[in-house]
Structure 1
Amino acid sequence: MTVSRWSTPAQCQSWEMWDGQECICAPGFFGEECQSLSYSFPLDVPNVINATVTVIVKVIHRNFTPDLNNVSSQTYQDFTKEFKQRMDQVYGGDDLTAYREVIIRNLLNGSIVVDNDVVLEVNYTPEYQQVFSNLSKIVRSKIMNETSVVANDIPKCQDSILCYNGEATRVNDTVKLGVNFQEQCTQRAAKDFAKYYYVDEVDGKLACVTRCTPGTKSQLNCNLGQCRLQRSGPRCLCPNTDTHWYWGETCEHSTNKSLVYGIVGGVLAVLLLLVIVLIIFLGRSQRKLHRQEYDVSQEWQKEGIPGTFQNMGFWEDKNLQGDRYGRENVYSHFRPSLGSLHIQRPEVVTGVP
């Protein structure tokens, strides 16, 4: 838990307690206003680490009795004592100095099936996981050698020695550590971000880290960007410099600003040129249309045809001759149109001599 001084409750962003003078930051946060995430913090590592390897063996030529289900019965205590003494002999030796004891988890029917844990203990080293992995292989080798021996003296198997069914022997390759560093890491990490923290070695020491922690094996490479832990996970924040834009999941791509500006300027110039050409083309089309209309209106004058045109009036139906209102209505809606009018050129007929 981090203490932040010179803050007020209104300023503390992620806090658990205000004592009137300072803000107590929640686990995983730090800063004057508890606004920053801790991307790594050391773990409490014991000097000695223990682990267990689960082993199942089947003791034959022995009868399973109900007393073996009762840990307080004399039958149970006698059998477990005999089994542990034999396992001390099997696992003991200079090649397995990490061996400490065997813990019997359960006895099951089937002759007598013994579910037990082999306890190992070593001094802490950064390579502790590899150390226990190697020790588990030694445990497997020893118990397989012990249970593969064929029992020839059945009376002794029933009384004074342990005999086994080698084919039923099982060794769990997963080593169970006595200390859970990942649980410690999760408890001390920021609440909403705990799932992104994991155990790794930093500067030779065990620590709780994220992919944004510098110096870790699985650090997220953001190239020229910065790694930031968000509620959605580690993300790269790409920079925006005077000359380049950077983008991509890890800021692996870049674009030159001058190039972009040049392309945009070229496109705008082309568009402007197209607009100018279009305006010129439309202007010429309009002038050509007006010229054609003017030529048609002057055609009759150019012909020089003799004679005159007279207004002969409009033909009126008999029903309209006495109807002043009807004539006015017709004349008021009359609109001359030359769209479909065809006028035959008048011919000059000379008199017969």
Structure 2
Amino acid sequence: MKVMEVSHLIGVIVLALIPGIQTTTTRPVTTSHSMPQNFQCLNGGLYDGIKCICSDDYFGTICESAIDKVVIGKSINTTVVLEIRITNREYTGDLSDVTSDGYKQFEEVFKAEMKYVYGDIPGYRDVIINSLRAGSVIVDHDVIVEMEFHSYVSVNEMYEEIFQRVQTEFEEFIGSNCTPGDSPLCISSVTIAKHPPPTPQELCDDRLPPGIKEFYTPVIRPEGLVCVSDCSQESEKYVNCNVGQCALQPQTGPECFCPNTDIYMYTSPRCRGRVLKAALYGGVGAAAGLLVTAIAIMVIMLYRSKRQRPQRLYEEPKY
């Protein structure tokens, strides 16, 4: 192979490596000011002819990013399940029909009398009759107690306290036999069961759509229970994008958008190790040029040494 061909081949190989330098870059956040007529918005967004109208959980030009937080609220309703036998009432057929006057009258009396039993429990809201059965009158019902979220005590601990309070109140009520209201109800037996509320994480999972709920963590704030994304500093799985901006992408999770990617490269997906492209390409180009020059000189010197080597005109006789 000729010297010029070898030099050219080496030069092509080295220069071909320059665009293939492996660096981590991320696309910048862009905003489109004009959209086609049949533009498709993402994640349930609706196009109004000018822009995308996003659902509550998404934002962005095409509703491509999920919001950083979702507020669940300050409290949640909890349930304690009871079955009681009322001995001073007789079961009649109309009690099986929730639309009948007899059922509505019994329900009104039952709710009023149960308020005497549960009314002193903090957060008590109501009782809900699930079913009425014969046996005098057997009432399956739920006691609804509102529970506030607190950062210093878990949901399970608060529910356990509510359950114990309901149990204690009814034990005292059974001891006095009948309720003290205008239409007293006399009780002979009680069965009580727990129905634990969902955990904060379960509440977040129920509130958020599939594809993004995996990237949220529950935290307790002054405004109550809040589901924060991995892009929030309050999350235990916080993704720090340094000089960049974190945005939650459906299915894939948090992604860092680094600034000024037209003039900078970043050696980390979290926008660290910023390098000026012009300086990088210039330095790599100069180094590649020196390498090509050095190799070419070595090839030329090797070629010349071969040309100057004396050749034998005849072979020495063999004895």
Q: Give the TM-score, by structure 1 length.
A: 0.47
Q: Name the counterpart of 1:87.
A: 114
Deviations 1:230-267 (A, max 9, x none): 55554212245799631433224445765786577556
Q: Could you say which structure has the larger radius of gyration? A: 1
Where does 1:237-276 land on structure 2 (aligned, <5 Å)? 237-239=257-259, 245-254=265-274, 265-266=286-287, 269-270=290-291, 272-276=293-297
Deviation at 1:36, TM superposition (A): 7.4
Secondary structure of the residue aligned to 2:198 is coil
Deviation at 1:272, TM superposition (A): 4.2
Once the two structures are aligned, what percentage of the paired residues are identical? 23
Deviation at 1:223, TM superposition (A): 0.9
Q: Name the counterpart of 2:25.
A: none
Deviation at 1:155, TM superposition (A): 12
Secondary structure of the residue aligned to 2:115 is helix
Q: Name the counterpart of 1:71.
A: 98
Q: Name the counterpart of 1:321.
A: none
Counterpart AA for 1:292:
Q
Structure 2 residue aligned with 1:140, among 145, 160, 163?
163
CA distance, structure 2, for counterparts of residue 103 and residue 138 of structure 1: 21
Is 2:48 aligned against 1:27?
Answer: no
Is 2:179 aligned against 1:160?
Answer: no
Deviation at 1:224, TM superposition (A): 1.2
Secondary structure of the residue aligned to 2:312 is helix
Q: Give the TM-score, by structure 2 length.
A: 0.51
Contact 1:105 1:117 in 2 (8 A): no
Q: Name the counterpart of 1:58.
A: 83
Contact 2:247 2:256 in 1 (8 A): yes
CA distance, structure 1, for counterparts of residue 230 and residue 178 of structure 2: 66
Is 2:198 aligned against 1:174?
Answer: yes
Deviation at 1:78, TM superposition (A): 7.5
Contact 2:127 2:143 in 1 (8 A): yes
Counterpart AA for 1:249:
P
Counterpart AA for 1:140:
F
CA distance, structure 2, for counterparts of residue 282 and residue 108 of structure 1: 108
Secondary structure of the residue aligned to 1:283 is helix
Deviations 1:79-117 (A, max 9, x none): 656653453123212x61x32321223357999462414
CA distance, structure 2, for counterparts of residue 236 and residue 74 of structure 1: 63
Contact 1:58 1:113 in 2 (8 A): yes
Deviations 1:131-171 (A, max 9, x none): 99587555322212145579789999xx8224324xx5224
Deviation at 1:7, TM superposition (A): 7.3
Structure 2 residue aligned with 1:236, among 214, 239, 256?
256
Over 3 Å counting, the alpha-carbon distance change for 1:75 and 1:210 in structure 2 is: closer
CA distance, structure 2, for counterparts of residue 169 and residue 197 of structure 1: 34
Deviations 1:198-229 (A, max 9, x none): 8999x9879x998598x773475311123345
Structure 2 residue aligned with 1:118, among 138, 141, 144?
144
Is 2:301 aligned against 1:280?
Answer: yes
Contact 1:246 1:253 in 2 (8 A): yes
Structure 1 residue aligned with 2:126, among 101, 110, 120?
101
Deviations 1:271-313 (A, max 9, x none): 643453344234323543xx2333x17x7xxxxxxxxxxxxxx
Counterpart AA for 1:276:
I
Where does 1:179-258 land on structure 2 (aligned, <5 Å)? 211=229, 217-218=234-235, 220-228=239-247, 230=249, 232-239=252-259, 245-254=265-274
Deviations 1:2-44 (A, max 9, x none): xxxx9797597756445xxxx464335999xx66778769999
Over 3 Å counting, the alpha-carbon distance change for 1:112 and 1:287 in structure 2 is: farther
Where does 1:323-342 land on structure 2 (aligned, <5 Å)? none
Deviation at 1:118, TM superposition (A): 1.0
Q: Name the counterpart of 1:322.
A: none
Over 3 Å counting, the alpha-carbon distance change for 1:261 and 1:53 in structure 2 is: same
CA distance, structure 2, for counterparts of residue 163 and residue 103 of structure 1: 19
Over 3 Å counting, the alpha-carbon distance change for 1:137 and 1:253 in structure 2 is: farther
Over 3 Å counting, the alpha-carbon distance change for 1:25 and 1:113 in structure 2 is: same
Over 3 Å counting, the alpha-carbon distance change for 1:73 and 1:10 in structure 2 is: closer
Number of residue-to-residue matches in the alignment: 260
Structure 1 residue ranges without an equivalent (≥5)? 1-5, 122-127, 187-191, 300-342, 346-353
Structure 2 residue ranges without an equivalent (≥5)? 1-32, 180-184
Contact 1:53 1:119 in 2 (8 A): yes
Secondary structure of the residue aligned to 1:292 is coil
Counterpart AA for 2:167:
M
